Structure 1
Amino acid sequence: MSFDPFGDFETAGYLRNHQRLKDPVEVKESEHFVFELSIEEALSHLARKRRPDYKAILKVHKILFGGFYPWAGKDRNELVPHLAIFKGAYNDPHSTIFERPDFIKRSVDYALKLAADKKKFQERPGEVMGQLAFAHPFLDGNGRTLLLVFMELCYRARFAINWSRTNKDDYLRALSDEIRAPFQGHLDNYLKPFVTAITSRDEWPQMIGGIRGLDGLDKEDITYESLDNPEVQQLYKTYRAQLQDAPAVPGADD
């Protein structure tokens, strides 16, 4: 099944992009071109915010991808509130489940709350990134948007991740493990060796442009199912149940 949550791929192209492109290579190239042109503006917007919040993240996505997607800056809850999103088939035990649309903002807010405790954030950076990735606010462009947000959060906590030393496949594997089993150190253990001193924001645009696999949890093998599906509802109940031992995790008691 192709990723066509709007149900109009044949007439509107991939996710209703402005150019109505359908070819995956053309989509990727055009989307990335728009992204690179907008990095500095997006970073500047984040730097000006007294405290990054959910509204700021939506704005960053709009800045980065508004030139390609007419819906940029709108989250899944606004666009497709009836759909659950997965990486892999929802009934595959190795698939990755993303937050249900109506809980996206709550999950992002919780990640920002974790990052506000700067000492703990330095010790457990993977928990914050994992929570942001699990929220998966957008239909596309999550990895790049959330990386910019994460870098800004790290900067304010006086540390950075040396992304140039990370390995795309290893990182995505640790990130997927973190989403499947959060707050158990999967992504913390991977990122800790790459923690370094903060760098000037001026260096970020070039640095970001060279990072591979930013959207590894977007596009490839992304599927969707109706939230009315009883099996999907049970998946979310099971996922929430495993968080009972993690205090203050959003939705754990829902």
Structure 2
Amino acid sequence: MSEAYLYPGTKVLINHAGLRDQELLDIFERNRSAFRLMELQAKPIQGNFDMGHLQAIHKHLFQDVYPFAGNLRTTNIGKDNFWFSDYPSISFKANNIFTALKEDNYYQKLKPEQFADKVAVLYSDLNYLHPFREGNGRSTREFFRHLAENAGYELKWSNVPKEQYMEAVIKATDNPSKYMGDLSQVFLKCIKPEAPEWTTPEQPLPLKDVIKLAEGIPGIHNKLNITSEMLKQPVERFKIETTGKGNEKLQFQFKNSQEIHKVLLEKPPFMTAQMKSQWLELAANNIGPIQMKNPGLEL
């Protein structure tokens, strides 16, 4: 472990906050990088899906924490007796990796299974590269979220338990020929979640409370015109699923009705759960608008 990155006599990375306690640094890093990640999710960094693009993401995520944010490491690093790529060859290997990605048209127009196979190999290659002294995983995951979106997919890491994802990455990096298929299956689950089952609450919920359980709210171009009275009407069963465009589809059935209604939900940026709840209550009492104005949301 190179001393150049550490405070003298410690194993703590030099940081902008001057923290020399690892536990405090972990908390500081987690909070600041989480805030910066929210910024990227609202306004992604534009790039060419190359090393420069990955470095820009790393710099944004860790700009408040580490002086080396966005810079390639200048020391060799390893974990649990596994050594990542030697640092002098990082740029050369990265050029080969990202050139191949460009020649493969950034995995666009691929079926889910094909896309999962491709990104599994790419992820394993970048994990072995481990180009930064710290923060490789978070930067790489955000890079892949952008890459998936560019290829027409929504990549949701939460679809797979963190332990399962980490185990698949480690095994695929250590023994690609044997375990790459496991990592491919992880990516397939992250871009192709299983269809949700119908939820039947013990007591019927008013439609406004069902919508509160989702992340989005009804878009204006739904074929179903939701009224204030409908928001107060009890729902017998419902299910919420994520669409390929990053929105949600709500299906529900009112009490004492056989008809199944479908509504596309939009996720407005920066709308908190509290704001959404207040908006629905106002709409249910015929005080505010029922649907958001967003052209292109049709179901």
1:155 is aligned to: 149
* TM score, norm. by length of structure 1: 0.64
**1:17 match: secondary structure:** coil
Q: Choose the corresponding residue for 1:117, options 93, 104, 107.
A: 107
Q: Percent identical across equivalent pairs?
A: 22
Q: Higher mean Cα deviation, 3-12 or 15-24?
A: 3-12
Say if 2:90 is the partner of 1:104: yes
State the partner residue of 1:65.
62
Give the 5 Å matches for 1:206-225: none
CA 1:130–1:148: 2 relative to 1, 3 Å? same
Higher relative contact order by CA 8 Å / sep ≥ 6: 1 or 2? 1
Find the aligned partners of 2:182 and 2:93 in 1 and give their Cα distance. 18
What's the offset of the Cα at 1:33? 1.6
Task: Identify the match of residue 36 of structure 1 among 34, 37, 45.
Answer: 34
What's 2:181 paired with?
Answer: 185
Which residue pairs with 2:284 in the alignment? none
Going from structure 1 to structure 2, the CA distance change for 1:102 and 1:166 (only over 3 Å counts) comes to same
Q: Distance in 1 between matches of 2:149 and 2:169?
A: 21
Q: Which residue of 2 aligns with 1:24?
A: 22
- How far is 1:6 from its partner? 1.7
For residues 57-101 of structure 1, give each alpha carbon's deviation from its aligned partner in whole angstroms, at most 9, with x where no partner exists: 11211111111111211111xxx2xx3221113xxxxxx331121
Task: Name the amino acid aligned to 1:199.
Answer: G
SS in 2 for 1:71: coil
Instruction: State the match for 1:168 in structure 2.
Output: 162
Q: Structure 1 CA distance, aligned partners of 2:95 and 2:127?
A: 13
- Structure in which a larger fraction of residues adopt helix: 1
What TM-score do you get using the length of structure 2 for normalisation?
0.56
1:87 aligns with: 79
CA RMSD across the alignment: 3.1
For residues 124 and 72 of structure 1, the distance between their equivalents in structure 2, rounded to whole angstroms, comes to: 28
CA 1:194 to 1:63, structure 2 compared with 1: closer, same or farther past 3 Å?
Answer: closer
State the shift of 1:23 in Å: 2.0
**C-alpha distance in 2 between matches for 1:44 and 1:27:** 26
Q: 1:204 to 1:25 in 2, by over 3 A?
A: farther
Aligned residues: 192
**In the TM superposition, what are the counterparts of 1:111-150 in structure 2 within 5 Å?**
111-112=97-98, 113-114=100-101, 116-118=106-108, 119=110, 120-150=114-144
- Secondary structure of the equivalent of 2:13? helix
AA of the residue aligned to 2:127: A
Task: Answer with 1 or 2: which has the greater Rg.
Answer: 2
Deviation at 1:7, TM superposition (A): 6.4
